Amino acid sequence: MSLPKPPEYLHHEPTQQEAQTPPCDTGSTATQLDGHQITALTDARNAALRHEAFKFALQESVRGLHKLGRIRDMLGFALAMWTLFVLWVIGNRASQLHDIAGIVATGLSLAVTTFAVWSFVAKWDEQVEKKNELAAKLNSFLMTYQKLYEADHPDVAKLRAWRLGLGDLDELRNHRLVTLDKRSKQAGHQHVAMKYINLDLKCDMCGKEWRPAFATALKSYSRFTKTCDNCGVKT
């Protein structure tokens, strides 16, 4: 599937008690907030949760690309070493050992070529650059939110403005190089769901409420088990 533009990973539906009090600790101002303001605060918090998951997913994707890059480099190094071994150690081109070594070298060459073409076509380096750029901007937005959230008296107007400000990231978020694979997206959801376990976050796609037991169960799911693309829970 095409992932995720814009991110709609997870959300928290206010409980009855929370519906009467805002998601921030407002102290004595709690009773002064009307329904619209509480909705604005909840909306800002859900946006923060979604974008924190998105940021983690981007970082997970970058980690995956770095890993692929290391495999590509190691294959190239192995091919170079193997070629030297064949040329200078085996020597005798008429030997059976030379033939076997030639087959191994051919396999390594194909693997190196495949990884080189793959990294070029998929633009791994450019992907890493764009994803890191977006993750850094998201981090800045999330830090701003944290400051607003932790303020003694939440400034609803500022939180609304912060929420709207996320739209500034649309161009970068919709960039063709900012794509996420299913595993990275699931990792983002699971990271945030476990971090804020007390919020009972719900998946935007399958609607399942996150449970700590899922973290253990996920490890036992085989690749043939049908799981939600968004949270990774069995469907």
Q: Which is nearer to Zn ion, 40 or 205 (CB)?
A: 205
91: left (phi over 0), alpha (psi -120 to 50) or beta: left
Q: Count residues contacting Zn ion (CB under 5 A)? A: 6
Least Å distance between CB 43 and Zn ion? 21
Q: Please state the closest distance from residue 62 (CB atom) to Zn ion, in A.
A: 23
Least distance (Å) between residue 181 CB and Zn ion: 16
* Other beta carbons within 10 Å of 166: 19
Helix, strand, coil proportions of the chain in percent (round to 5)?
70, 5, 25
Residue in 41, 58, 166, 203 binding Zn ion, rule: CB under 5 A: 203
Residue 206 near Zn ion by CB under 5 A: yes
Per DSSP, what are the bridge partners of residue 11?
202
- The helix or strand, by DSSP H or E, that contains position 10, with its residue range, turns out to be strand 10-11
- Per the listing, tokens 């983690």 go with 56
Query: Which tokens sit at 86?
Result: 């064949």
Contact 148, 158 (CB under 8 A): yes
Q: Residue 198 is encoded by which pair of tokens?
A: 């007390």
Q: Which stretch binds Zn ion (CB under 5 A): 59-67, 69-77, 150-158, 221-229?
A: 221-229
CB 11 within 8 A of CB 51: no
Distance, CA of 125 to CA of 119 (rounded, Å): 8
What does the per-residue mask of binding to Zn ion show for 105-144, with x meaning CB under 5 A? ----------------------------------------
User: For Zn ion, which stretch binds (CB under 5 A), given 89-97, 124-132, 135-143, 205-213?
Assistant: 205-213
Q: Which is nearer to Zn ion, 140 or 235 (CB)?
A: 235
Binding span for Zn ion by CB under 5 A among 46-54, 105-113, 162-170, 220-228: 220-228
Check residue 186 for interaction with Zn ion (CB under 5 A).
no
**Residues in contact with Zn ion by the rule CB under 5 A:** 203, 205-206, 228, 230-231
